[in-house]
């Protein structure tokens, strides 16, 4: 049987039981991009049992580099993802036929990008699975990755260290030098002073606005009162003149 025929024969999923789909990764700083990829794997078939493999610290640090979270923390994060039915700790770096048989895996789900075998044996750790017709592609989430999250922290390093110093962490907890700590604390004091000055200026501006508004109201009231007084005086004057003319008509004639 040729490879093409063998791959074609293995494409049909089982119908008498849940389809066992396997996804693997490091899952450091577990984020929504991870969750979305697992959601895609879970929804590949109407009835899917999703197994998720996670490599331990020893393998990960050897082939990829240091992680932020320990392997135990990464396993626990996966267990709390609603799409995951089973977590396989200490997962192999390269999926083998023996591993698939041991866990009765029907398909392996991952994005289609080739991932080089760190041992140099293959340009793609999923090459065997793809050739066996057991590979199902998922899409990576745009705009989010563990590397992106780490870069955000590195970019705003001083702000995060300053925040944690303010929360009571020591420089030893944060791994910073004595000089670095003092410099950050001086910056903290300057920033706090700037915030206080800004807050005080805003309060003064508010008071000035209140005084200006009050003065404007009082001025308007004075003008309105003055208008009423003048109108009242004119009305009284006209009324007085009318009474005088009525009482002394001769004055009007003589005028």
pLDDT at position 118 over 70: no
**φ and ψ of 51, to 5 deg:** -105, 135
Angle at 218 between CA 213 and CA 222, to 5 degrees: 150
**The pLDDT of residue 124 is above 90:** no
Task: Give pLDDT, residue 4.
Answer: 40
Higher-pLDDT residue of 240 and 167 is 167
The per-residue pLDDT of the chain, averaged, comes to: 83
Question: 69: exposed, middle or buried (C-beta count within 10 Å: 0-12, 13-18, 19+)?
Answer: middle
Distance CA 25, CA 191 (A): 42
Mean pLDDT computed over 5-19 = 71
**Reported confidence tier of residue 167, pLDDT bands at 50, 70, 90:** confident
Query: What pLDDT is recorded for position 154?
Result: 84
Which residues have C-beta within 8 Å of that of residue 22, sequence separation ≥ 6? 50, 51, 52, 53, 88, 95, 100, 103, 105, 107, 108, 109
Q: What is the pLDDT of residue 161?
A: 80
Residue 112 · residue 58 · CB < 8 Å: no
Provide the token pair at 11.
Answer: 């494409």
% of residues, the chain, pLDDT over 90: 44
**pLDDT confidence of residue 2:** 41
The structure's pTM equals 0.65
Count Cβ atoms below 10 Å from residue 39 Cβ, excluding itself: 15
pLDDT digits (tens, 9 = 90+) for 210-253: 777 776 666 666 666 666 766 666 677 677 666 665 665 554 44
Of 161 and 26, the one with more pLDDT: 26
Least confident of 14-23, 88-97, 113-122, 218-227: 218-227
Q: Among the ranges 55-69, 147-161, 239-253, which has the highest mean pLDDT value?
A: 55-69
- If one compares 207 and 23, the residue with the highest pLDDT of the two is 23
Q: d(Cα 44, Cα 233) in Å, to the nearest integer?
A: 92
**Is pLDDT above 70 for 61?**
yes
Please name the residue that has the structure tokens 């989010």.
144
Q: What is the reported pLDDT for 42?
A: 98
Report pLDDT for 212.
72
Strands of 19-25's sheet, edge to edge?
86-89, 48-54, 19-25, 107-110, 135-137
3-class secondary-structure state, position 16: coil
pLDDT at 100: 96
What is the tally of helices (H) and strands (E) in the chain? 11, 5
**Backbone φ/ψ region at 6: left (φ over 0), alpha (ψ -120 to 50), beta:** alpha
Structure tokens at 46: 């109407």
Label residue 52 exposed, middle or buried (CB < 10 Å: 0-12, 13-18, 19+).
buried
Helix axes 178-247, 157-166, angle to 10 degrees: 80
Burial 192-214 (b: 16+ CB within 10 A, else e): eeeeeeeeeeeeeeeeeeeeeee
Specify whether the CB–CB gap between 117 and 82 falls below 8 A: no
Query: Which positions ≥6 away from 105 have C-beta within 8 Å?
Result: 20, 21, 22, 51, 99, 134
The CATH number of domain 3-143 is 3.40.50.620: yes
Residue spans per domain, the chain: 3-143, 156-255
């Amino acid at each position: 049987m040729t490879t093409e025929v063998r791959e074609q024969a293995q494409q049909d999923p089982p119908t008498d039981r849940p389809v066992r789909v396997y996804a693997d990764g490091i899952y450091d700083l577990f984020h929504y991009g991870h969750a979305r990829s697992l959601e895609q794997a879970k929804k590949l078939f109407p009835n899917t049992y999703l197994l998720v493999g996670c490599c331990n610290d020893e393998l990960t640090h050897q082939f990829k580099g240091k992680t932020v979270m320990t392997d135990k923390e990464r396993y626990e994060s996966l267990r709390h993802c609603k799409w995951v039915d089973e977590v396989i700790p200490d997962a192999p770096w390269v999926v083998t036929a023996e591993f698939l048989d041991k866990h009765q895996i029907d398909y392996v789900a991952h994005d289609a990008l080739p991932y080089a075998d760190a041992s140099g044996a293959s340009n793609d750790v999923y090459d065997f699975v793809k050739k066996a017709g057991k590979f199902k592609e998922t899409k990576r989430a745009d705009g989010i990755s563990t590397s992106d999250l780490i870069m955000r922290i590195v970019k705003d390093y001083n702000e995060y260290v300053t925040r944690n110093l303010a929360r009571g962490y020591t420089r030893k907890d944060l791994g910073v030098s004595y000089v670095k700590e003092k410099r950050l604390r001086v910056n903290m004091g300057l920033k706090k002073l700037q915030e206080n000055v800004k807050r005080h200026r805003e309060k003064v501006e508010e008071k000035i606005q209140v005084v200006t508004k009050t003065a404007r109201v009082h001025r308007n009231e004075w003008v309105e009162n003055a208008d009423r007084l003048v109108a009242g005086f004119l009305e009284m004057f006209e009324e007085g003149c009318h009474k005088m003319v009525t009482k002394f008509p001769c004055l009007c004639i003589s005028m």
